[in-house]
Amino acid sequence: MDRSVGWRAALLQAVLVTAVAVVLALALSDSFFEDWGWLAGPAAWGGCALLAGSFLRLPLGLVLVGAALSGLPMLLGVAVGVHWLGAPLGLAVFGVWCGRLASPRLPVAA
C-alpha cells in the first residue's frame, strides 16, 4: 500500500466534500436536502472521489468503486440520525482503498 497516496486521497476527499457541502448548504434550502439528500450526498461523494482520483492519477473506475464502498459506513450515521458520524470512517476507508490502488503490483510469473 502506498501510504502517501492514501493520506493524500483521504485529505483531498475531505477538503472537496467539505467545499461542496458548504456551497450546497449556502445555495439550497433545507427542504432540498430533506427531499433530495439521499441523492445529492452520494453524488457529491462520488464526484469528489473522481476529482481526487483524477488528481492522484488513479484508475477512475476503481476509484468510483472505492467511493461507493467507503460511503457504506456513512449509512450507519444516517440510520442513527447523526449524519456525519460515518464520515471519518468513510474517509479512512477511501484513503486505504486509494493507497492500495497506487501500490506497485508484483509481476506475474509466466
Asked if pLDDT for residue 55 goes beyond 90, the answer is yes
Asked if pLDDT for residue 77 goes beyond 90, the answer is no
Summarize the chain as % helix, strand, coil (round to 5).
85, 0, 15
What confidence score (pLDDT) does residue 30 get?
Answer: 87
pLDDT in tens, 19-42: 999 999 999 988 888 888 888 889
